[in-house]
Structure 1
Amino acid sequence: MQKNRTRHNQHISSPFETAGISCSICQSNNTASITTSMTYAMRSDGLLLNEPLAKVHCFNCGVLLGRNNQPEQAYLRSSGNSEFDLKRHQAVANGIANLLETSSNQSILSTLCKSDARVLEIGGANFATALALKKLKPHLQITSIEPSPEQVPETNDIDIIIDTFSTKHFKHKFDIIFSNNVIEHIADTRAFLKQCREMIEPSGCLIVCCPAHTPASNELLFSDHLYHFTPQSLALCCQAVGLELVAQQVAGWDTLTQVYLLRPTTGGQYQLEEPKPTQLFQVRRRLLAEWSKQDTLLKSQLDASRPLLLFGAGEFSQLIRTYLPKTYAKVSAITVDSVLGARQFDKPIIEFGQLRVTNQQILIGLNPSVRPAVEQKLSAAGFNQSQIIVPTV
C-alpha cells in the first residue's frame, strides 16, 4: 500500500444549492442534497421505506450522509450459507490475512506472529469469515460478536458472542480488531471508533472495511448506509479519538470496498491526496440520475407479449424491485441457480435448472461484474439475444 503525498485542502466552495445541513464529520455547512425522483428507499436487507432516498454531500471532507429515517424493524436476513455467501466470507478472510502479512508496519507484523494474538471481529453475521480466518491462521484467538446472527454454528474454534458491541463489556483487550461493512451503518462513528480504540492493545491495529468512495457504486442506494466515507472524512473521525490512518487500499475481494488500516496514535502522519468533492458530487448525482431513468429505458426493450423473468434473488434484484417499480411489476417470476440464500420477494422463485425456455424475456438482476458470465449461461441454455435484457446501471 502506497502513501499519498498531497495535503488535504481544508475548504472547497460549492457551486450548488446548499442543503442547510451541517456535516456531522467536519461540521462544515457547505453541503448539498442529492435528490431523486424515486418513490421509495431501501434498506440493505431489502426493507422498503415509504419515502424517497435522501443523501447529503459535504463539499469539505467529501463524505456522503444518509438522511432517511431508520426503521426499528429487525433486519430480514437470508441464511447466509449459499455457495456465493460462503465464497465471499472466505475471500474476506483471505484478504484480512493477506493485509496483515504484507503490512509495511513492523509492529503489526509482530502482533500477527504472537502465539496468543487476540482478534475481534465486529459484525460476524453467520461467523463464516471468522471461522475461515481461524483455518488460515490457527494460532489466532478469534472472537466474533454479532447482535443478530444469520445462523450460529456449533464450533469451539472461535468464541462467539451474540450481543451488541457498543454495550458489551470485554474482559481483555485485542491485538487486532476488524469489521467489514459495519461502520457505514453506525450513527455515531466517533463513539464506535473510540470504543475500538479502548479495546486495542497499544501495539495493535484496527481494520475497517466499508464501501469505497470512488468509483460511485450502487452502495449509494441503501438508506441505512449513513456514511459513505472518503479517506479524509474517516481520518478526521480517527484523529478525534486517538487513532491514526496507517494505510488504505481497495479490497482484494471486492473492488467496491475500501480497506483502512488504523492504529493508536503514535505521532506519525499519513498524508492524503487532496480531495475532489465537487467532482465526487457530480459522479454521485449522475449515478442516482441514471437509476431514475432506468425504468423508462428498460420499458423500450420489453415485449409486452412475452413473460418477463428476473435472474437473481439477491441484493441487486431487490434494488430493481425498489427503484425500477414499472419494470419489476412486469416480472412474473424470479429464477436463480439455487434457492439457498435467496432474499425475500413477493414473486415465485424457480431454480434455473427447472426452467423451460420458451419465448420469455429474462432480465439480469445481478451486479455488473458478473453479468457477462450470466449472459453466456443464458445463451447456452437457449435464450437468444432478443430475450436477454441487461440493465445499464
Structure 2
Amino acid sequence: MIQAALPCNVCQQPLAEPIYRAAPQSSLSSLRRAMDGTLEVFCCDACGHIQTAELCDNGSFYDTEYDILVNSEEEDQIYAVENGQKIFRADHQVATFQRKLALQGALHEGARVVDFGCAKSATMRLLKQQRPDVNVHLFDISDRYVGFWEKFLSPEQWATYTIPPAWQRSFDVVSSFFSLEHIPDLTTALRNIHGLLRDGGVLYAIVPNTFTNSVDFLVADHVNHFTHTSLQTLLANHGFDLLEADAHSHRGAFVVTAARRPGDSKVAPVLDAQALVDTQSAARKLAHFWQQASSHLTDFEAQHGSAPAVIYGAGFYGAYTASNLQQPHALRAFVDQNPYLQGSSLAGKPVVALDSIPDEVEVVYLAVNPVIADEVRHTVEAAYPNRFRYFRFQP
C-alpha cells in the first residue's frame, strides 16, 4: 500500500523524500531523552519549511511528559556568558521583548499580553516585576505549570487546554517563546493566535533558527524548523503582515514580529524565487553536515583510544555527543556553567563546574553550537592551559 505524502505544516503541500534520516533509535527530544522511532527531516519545495516527522502524540507528550525547568521557580538556561557574567535566557528574552515592542508601540501603559504555549512563563514573571502596569495572561495545553503561575497572577489570568471566549480579540500582544516549533497543527495555532489579537495587534514569537543553531535540526520534538520563507508563508496565510524576522537579536533564533491584518483579510505570500532556492540548498547542506558529524566524532574517538574525557555542555549537543560515543566508559563527566545543571546527571555521568574537571581527563568534547566553540575553548584553556585535546563540531 502506497503511503500518502506527509503534508507541510506551513503550506499543506505534499513533502518529497526526506533530506535526512538518522540512524535507528538515535532520536533525542529537546529534554535530551531518547525517543522511539527514526528521525526523518524534510524540506518543502513550495515554501522552504524544514519539517521533522512526528514520533509521538505531541498533545499528550506536552500535557503529561514535557517538564522543562520545573525544579524551581528560578531554574533557567544560560543564554550567554559575557566577561565572566552569566546571562540567563529569561532575562535576555524580557529585555528584547520590551525593546522590540517599544519600537512597535505595542507595549503601552496597560497593554494586554497573553503568553501562548507559555510553560513556566519565566519571561512573563520578569515582565510583571519590571512592568506591573502590563496586564499579563497565560495559556498552555497543560496544567502542570499552574503552581508557578499562581505566584504572580490570579486564576482568571490563565487558561489551560481551551481558550476562554471572553479572550477573543482582546489582546494587544500575543507572545510565543519557543513554542511554535513544537506544534504540528500550525493552522489551528495561528488561527487561535489571530483570534486573540485586536486588529493591528502584534504577534511576538521566538523560534529556533536551525541555520544558526544547527543542532535544532536533530531535535525530534521540534517538528518545525522555520526558515525566512516559511515564516513569510505561514503568517501571510493566516492574516498577518510580517514586520520583522530578526536573526540577530537572539542567538540561534528568529525574533518574529507580525501585525494582525484588519478583520479576516489575508494576502497570498509572495516568495522571492532565489531566496526559496537558497533556503532549500542550505537545508540540504545542513543535512549533509549531520550525516557526516557522527563519523567525524567516531574518527576522533578512534584516534584517542579510551583517553579519559569530559563533554563540555550538558544540553542537547552534549546528549547527542554522548549518545554517539563508541567508548562511553572513557567519559568522566559533563561540564556546564549553568548552576541549575551542576550536581545533576546526564547519561549516567555527573554534571560539574568548569573548575571541577577530574585530574585524569585528557580530552574535551566541545558539545556546543559551532558558532561559539572557539569562545568556549578559550574559556577552558584559560582555566587549564595546554592540558587537553579537543573535539568540536565543524560548521
| TM-score of the two chains, using structure 2 as the length reference | 0.80
1:169 paired with 2:164, answer yes
Q: Which residue of 2 aligns with 1:50?
A: 36
- Which residue type is aligned with residue 169 of structure 1? P
- Which residue type is aligned with residue 241 of structure 2? E
1:371 paired with 2:373, answer yes
**Secondary structure class of the residue paired with 1:248:** strand
2:182 is matched with which residue: 169, 181, 185? 185
Q: Which residue of 1 aligns with 2:82?
A: none
Judging changes above 3 Å, is the alpha-carbon distance between structure 1 residues 240 and 337 closer, same or farther for their aligned structure 2 residues? closer
Whole-Å separation in 1 of the counterparts to 2:186 and 2:305: 48
Moved more, 70-79 or 51-60: 70-79
**Secondary structure class of the residue paired with 2:375:** helix
Judging changes above 3 Å, is the alpha-carbon distance between structure 1 residues 288 and 332 closer, same or farther for their aligned structure 2 residues? farther
**CA deviations over 1:110-154 (Å, ceiling 9, x no partner):** x432x3211111233332211222344332111233424397166
- Which residue type is aligned with residue 345 of structure 1? L
Q: Is the 2:209–2:253 contact (alpha carbons within 8 Å) kept by the matching residues of 1?
A: yes
**Secondary structure class of the residue paired with 1:374:** helix
**Secondary structure class of the residue paired with 1:171:** helix
Q: Is the 2:362–2:388 contact (alpha carbons within 8 Å) kept by the matching residues of 1?
A: no
Q: Which residue of 2 aligns with 1:336?
A: 336
- Which residue type is aligned with residue 369 of structure 1? V
**Secondary structure class of the residue paired with 1:145:** strand
1:70 is matched with which residue: 51, 56, 61? 56
**CA deviations over 1:334-389 (Å, ceiling 9, x no partner):** 23335523675222213333334345212122222332232122212225265232
2:240 is matched with which residue: 238, 243, 253? 243
Q: Which residue of 1 aligns with 2:317?
A: 316
| TM-score of the two chains, using structure 1 as the length reference | 0.80
**Secondary structure class of the residue paired with 2:107:** helix
Judging changes above 3 Å, is the alpha-carbon distance between structure 1 residues 353 and 281 closer, same or farther for their aligned structure 2 residues? same
Q: Which residue of 2 aligns with 1:295?
A: 294
**CA deviations over 1:161-189 (Å, ceiling 9, x no partner):** 6753x513263321111101111211211
Q: Is the 2:210–2:217 contact (alpha carbons within 8 Å) kept by the matching residues of 1?
A: no
Shift of 1:221: 1.0
1:195 paired with 2:192, answer yes
Q: Which residue of 1 aligns with 2:217?
A: 220
Shift of 1:254: 2.0
1:130 is matched with which residue: 103, 124, 137? 124
Q: Is the 1:61–1:277 contact (alpha carbons within 8 Å) kept by the matching residues of 2?
A: yes
- Which residue type is aligned with residue 20 of structure 2? T
Q: Is the 1:245–1:263 contact (alpha carbons within 8 Å) kept by the matching residues of 2?
A: no
Judging changes above 3 Å, is the alpha-carbon distance between structure 1 residues 81 and 150 closer, same or farther for their aligned structure 2 residues? farther
Shift of 1:285: 2.6
Does 1 or 2 have the higher relative contact order (CA < 8 Å, sep 6+)? 1
Judging changes above 3 Å, is the alpha-carbon distance between structure 1 residues 268 and 69 closer, same or farther for their aligned structure 2 residues? closer
Shift of 1:321: 3.1
Q: Which residue of 2 aligns with 1:116?
A: 110
Whole-Å separation in 2 of the counterparts to 1:150 and 1:289: 42
Q: Is the 1:141–1:158 contact (alpha carbons within 8 Å) kept by the matching residues of 2?
A: no
Judging changes above 3 Å, is the alpha-carbon distance between structure 1 residues 246 and 150 closer, same or farther for their aligned structure 2 residues? same
1:91 paired with 2:92, answer yes
Judging changes above 3 Å, is the alpha-carbon distance between structure 1 residues 67 and 271 closer, same or farther for their aligned structure 2 residues? closer
**Secondary structure class of the residue paired with 1:152:** helix
Task: Structure 2: state its 5+ residue gaps.
Answer: 80-86
Aligned residues: 366
1:145 is matched with which residue: 139, 152, 157? 139
**CA deviations over 1:281-331 (Å, ceiling 9, x no partner):** 332233233223223323443422421111221222122234x24365642
Whole-Å separation in 2 of the counterparts to 1:385 and 1:189: 49
Q: Is the 2:78–2:338 contact (alpha carbons within 8 Å) kept by the matching residues of 1?
A: no
1:32 is matched with which residue: 12, 17, 21? 17
Q: Is the 2:213–2:369 contact (alpha carbons within 8 Å) kept by the matching residues of 1?
A: no
Q: Is the 2:310–2:361 contact (alpha carbons within 8 Å) kept by the matching residues of 1?
A: no
1:387 paired with 2:360, answer no
Whole-Å separation in 1 of the counterparts to 2:155 and 2:99: 22
Judging changes above 3 Å, is the alpha-carbon distance between structure 1 residues 150 and 33 closer, same or farther for their aligned structure 2 residues? farther
Q: Is the 2:32–2:315 contact (alpha carbons within 8 Å) kept by the matching residues of 1?
A: no
Whole-Å separation in 2 of the counterparts to 1:45 and 1:160: 30
Judging changes above 3 Å, is the alpha-carbon distance between structure 1 residues 274 and 196 closer, same or farther for their aligned structure 2 residues? same
Q: Which residue of 1 aligns with 2:357?
A: 355
**Secondary structure class of the residue paired with 1:102:** helix
Q: Which residue of 2 aligns with 1:11?
A: none
Shift of 1:157: 6.2
Q: Is the 2:204–2:258 contact (alpha carbons within 8 Å) kept by the matching residues of 1?
A: yes
1:208 paired with 2:191, answer no
Whole-Å separation in 2 of the counterparts to 1:126 and 1:284: 32
Task: Structure 1: state its 5+ residue gaps.
Answer: 1-18, 104-108
Moved more, 290-299 or 58-67: 290-299
Cα RMSD between the aligned structures? 3.2
Whole-Å separation in 1 of the counterparts to 2:266 and 2:191: 19
Shift of 1:76: 4.3
Whole-Å separation in 2 of the counterparts to 1:278 and 1:239: 20
Q: Is the 1:177–1:200 contact (alpha carbons within 8 Å) kept by the matching residues of 2?
A: yes
Q: Which residue of 1 aligns with 2:84?
A: none
Q: Is the 1:216–1:283 contact (alpha carbons within 8 Å) kept by the matching residues of 2?
A: no
Whole-Å separation in 2 of the counterparts to 1:373 and 1:351: 17
